[in-house]
A and B are shown apart, each in its own frame.
Chain A
């Protein structure tokens, strides 16, 4: 798709950036001490902190990634919403109050509160850095995705812009400005997502999304000796140039009288062969890529996704009018939606490589239950294991994300930590329910960009007007800023507080610690820019799934066992973090998805698992138990939580 930046979008974007930069400058005085820089002084109101939690957590993965995944793969995308939200239950019931009670600036403080162990300090700091990096990549990819339609800049410019702005936010006022950027962004995201869903429900569903929507053409074909041809009596000026078979599907290349090529999908309708217009991107050996046979600027690579049949209360209709939320969902379930399927491998046509997406009418009943992405219905046992692994990681990952845990140090008391978590659950839960509507809306409104699932929600907003699109895009951009700021603060704390101050025992003054945090922010920001450019094109929610897996494997076993198993030792915790970290990152690096990223055949990947949680989380628990049992000090009282509880404070 081609995007034209609008003046409104640019104005809103500039306003937001100026506001955020001004806010950071204003807050900078509050961040002159370590407590101010890393924990916003510990005096943030629980209500503000709760929405800031939402702003921190509802990242590009939640807004862009999940909506995109639902738009392309239906209910399976919503499973991410459910897993992400469910993870907050662990945070509330198990982690929130102890984290506040035991820690100072970082979650390493809490883990190390009773041990003063160099091993824990080092491992937890490294784990924080790795999880933050895994989480940073998709945020930066999301930034690049947004800036192209918003401002007309290429991907790398968007990534660099976000990097520079976030470095400024964090390097000037640390957690103080980060908190209010997250609060603002969290609030705006929820409000305007609600507005978008209200617009959607008011407009209802239609078989023709808009009067200028390009529905795929269908022409009659003939088949002789397995070769596709135009019928003898056809008036069409299209000529068959080539045909290719991929799996069970046949694709035909036609040329028109102007010499423009197009690709068509051979279908069988009531026993008669027909050709249905597909979407294609041709990478030529010489010359620019062609979109449906023409340069990108020609605008012939159409947005897709529409309803071919709408069933409302048992009757087939062309449009529904306004719908209640439940009616919207049931209508989609009873109708047929034309999604687009991508061929597994590009076709080699001469020297050119052709990617094809073809119309794939799908019953709503299949869209509204699991199975389109996760092959739990017709896949093998490995597909099911991959699915369980992902759901496990999402559930246990939230309460182990360092940039989330550090928000517990910004409130005055345990009670505030608990209340702010509940505010976060309400806000985040409400938003995740909205994602199902936004994703399904994008799927049926003829707005999808086949090359960027991440743009689905903003493009749905564009359907309702440039103003809403501009606001939503600017908020999505703010979403990236808020989350990335939190991640960089977490990384700063890991380096300046955990490593320099505690592990290396470098005697830093308060000011020097803040300075070290700021320098780390700049370095981490630069690395994030590089990674955001390198990972262009991957679905951001998919990438965040990995961050959750690493956090759940490296950090959560240590947190839970510290709190609930009296025999936990410092060496057990350090070993558990190390094994959880190495095993999860290792499995990811040899996963099918990474193999594809390396340009290799995913089927040859050494690990069949895309998500490591099902192996690395239990492994981390086992290592902690075994090492702890082997490193008990004879005659000494249990080291861990029994003591913690006695000294509990609120």
Chain B
């Protein structure tokens, strides 16, 4: 704590307000989460989080989210590449539209995706004869998770592509590398940390997502129920300590995902020219 940094006035006011606000809004409620979890006892905690129906939701929330994040890794990187390197009519529109999943309320996305993939509807009627069930099936959860996590990869990768210097690619070409070899061995390696960071962030968002999924998933026990829904069910049964227990599990998982994302990003920043 160096006092010389405190030249400008307002330190006590700004910090005081910030800390008060965060204490009331975050710290106190988080303490309640810890307290309620503990109040149920270890046995209740363990029974709740290992209940077969709850365990089945982990497979959906954490498993399908992983698949969605990988798919977003591929398409997000392609989109970032197109935005950074190609010029075509409508590029700016696409770039602005990338953030639509952030701006569109999740309930709106939820009913729109459900309508899109329900049998007898837009895309559903073409998928049904092929025996593909999307709405009210795990595939629907996947679609919603892809939608919600897509912008993260583009936003993580695009600035790094823009920073790549031309010389190394030119050097590779001069040395006789084909374009594909250059992409694979010269361009992709420095992008990899950013791509993984984007995948991890997109995963984190999909794991906790609720609104856009609950409509299209149909909430079938042991099949398409997601973990956040279990919290709501426990609250409806007034099992506060059970709800808090699942909340703690989700909080811990999210914290782990964020820490991994941070590590990958720090690792990637070491290779970037500008910090």
Mutual binders A and B: no
Chain A interface (Cβ < 8 Å from any Cβ of B): none
